[in-house]
Amino acid sequence: MNNNISKEYMESLPSQYLLLNRLLSFFVSDSADVANRLFEHFKTVQSVFAASEEELLNVEGMNGEAARMLHSFNGLCKDYLNCVNDTNVRVYNSESACKLMKPKFNDTATEKIALLILNSRGQVMFNDKISEGSIHMVPVYIKNVMRLCLDYHADTVVFAHNHPSGNPIPTQSDILATKELQLAMESIYVTLYDHIVFAGDDYASMRTSGWLKSITRTTDAFRRQVIKDKEGN
């Protein structure tokens, strides 16, 4: 088989093969032959997209660019479907926020940070990872959080990160970061509804556990003290 095969024959092939052939045509000259070999090797298009770059390169005719494209296509489709599924979804409580944000932390061995932005009706405007690294590096990502809130006209946000250690109990660094986030959100008139810590299949909600309420009290006390000090001067 080659790229000069008849239009009638191409139209008789399964749509999955045609998709694979079209994607490969941007990276390899004999895309039809390579698509055939991929199907012979992996049996289904799902298995092709789920394969690692190393596995794809074992197929004759594949090159580095084509392997990277096919390997990343699966993740791209998942991200797209997540965005579509999030559209018009409403978040009413911490549990519904957890269900939306949990997939962002599946299969990760590193600490990641995610943000959920809601409008005044509780509809999802943004739901994605925003940073990778330790939670205590607040200045690194807080400007990005504020920018996203302004871009999406946020009314309420839910912040989340994960503990690769497997223990979801918030650390002192988590609590300090939450205080800074809360103050930053208040400065742009956005409500920090919750800060969720994921650890494998487990999680801890700072709102439902009472930590967020305690943090709010301490930030309120700090704010009152600042005002008092200014008035005294």
* Residue after which a domain boundary falls, among 25, 55, 84: 84
Count other Cβ atoms within 10 Å, centred on residue 10: 14
Look at residue 198 and tell me if it is in a domain.
yes
Look at residue 60 and tell me if it is in a domain.
yes
d(CA 33, CA 20): 11
Put residue 28 in one of left, alpha, beta given phi > 0 → left and psi -120 to 50 → alpha: beta
Reading the block at residue 184, the tokens are: 């930053």
Check which CATH number belongs to the domain holding 149 and give it: 3.40.140.10
Regarding whether 128 and 34 lie in a shared domain, the answer is no
Regarding whether 69 and 30 lie in a shared domain, the answer is yes
Looking at residue 59, what DSSP letter applies?
A: S
Check which CATH number belongs to the domain holding 40 and give it: 1.10.150
Look at residue 28 and tell me if it is in a domain.
yes
* Residue after which a domain boundary falls, among 84, 102, 128: 84
Look at residue 1 and tell me if it is in a domain.
no
Look at residue 2 and tell me if it is in a domain.
no
Regarding whether 40 and 107 lie in a shared domain, the answer is no
Looking at residue 48, what DSSP letter applies?
A: H
Task: Give the pLDDT score at 83.
Answer: 58
* Residue after which a domain boundary falls, among 52, 84, 116: 84
Nearest in space to 113 (alpha carbons), one of 79, 137, 89:
137
Regarding whether 115 and 73 lie in a shared domain, the answer is no
Regarding whether 169 and 97 lie in a shared domain, the answer is yes
Task: Give the pLDDT score at 108.
Answer: 73
**pLDDT tens across 155-174, in order?**
999 999 999 888 999 999 89
Nearest in space to 93 (alpha carbons), one of 156, 170, 181:
156
- According to DSSP, the residues that pair with 118 across neighbouring strands are 124, 156
Task: Give the pLDDT score at 134.
Answer: 66
Regarding whether 106 and 65 lie in a shared domain, the answer is no
Regarding whether 99 and 61 lie in a shared domain, the answer is no
**Number of alpha carbons in the 13 Å side-chain half-sphere of residue 67:** 14
**Number of alpha carbons in the 13 Å side-chain half-sphere of residue 155:** 10
Look at residue 115 and tell me if it is in a domain.
yes
Q: Which pLDDT band, with edges at 50, 70 and 90, does 49 fall under?
A: confident
3-class DSSP string for 86-152: HCCCECCCHHHHHHHHHHHHCCCCCCEEEEEEECCCCEEEEEEEEEECCCCCHHHHHHHHHHHHHHC
Regarding whether 157 and 43 lie in a shared domain, the answer is no
Per-residue pLDDT averaged across 111-134, rounded? 89
Regarding whether 80 and 94 lie in a shared domain, the answer is no
Q: How big is the CA angle at 165 (ends 163 and 167), to the nearest 5 degrees?
A: 70
Q: Structurally, how many domains does the chain consist of?
A: 2
Q: What is the pTM (predicted TM-score) of this model?
A: 0.61
Regarding whether 111 and 58 lie in a shared domain, the answer is no
| Residue 183, φ and ψ in degrees, nearest 5 | -65, -40
* Amino acid symbol at 126: F
Q: Does the pLDDT at position 107 exceed 80?
A: no
Regarding whether 216 and 102 lie in a shared domain, the answer is yes
Look at residue 217 and tell me if it is in a domain.
yes
Regarding whether 78 and 158 lie in a shared domain, the answer is no
Q: Does the pLDDT at position 85 exceed 60?
A: no
Per-residue pLDDT averaged across 135-159, rounded? 84
Reading the block at residue 218, the tokens are: 């301490």
* 3-class DSSP assignment, residue 203: strand
Alpha carbon 155 to chain centroid, angstroms = 20
Q: Which domain holds residue 80?
A: 7-84
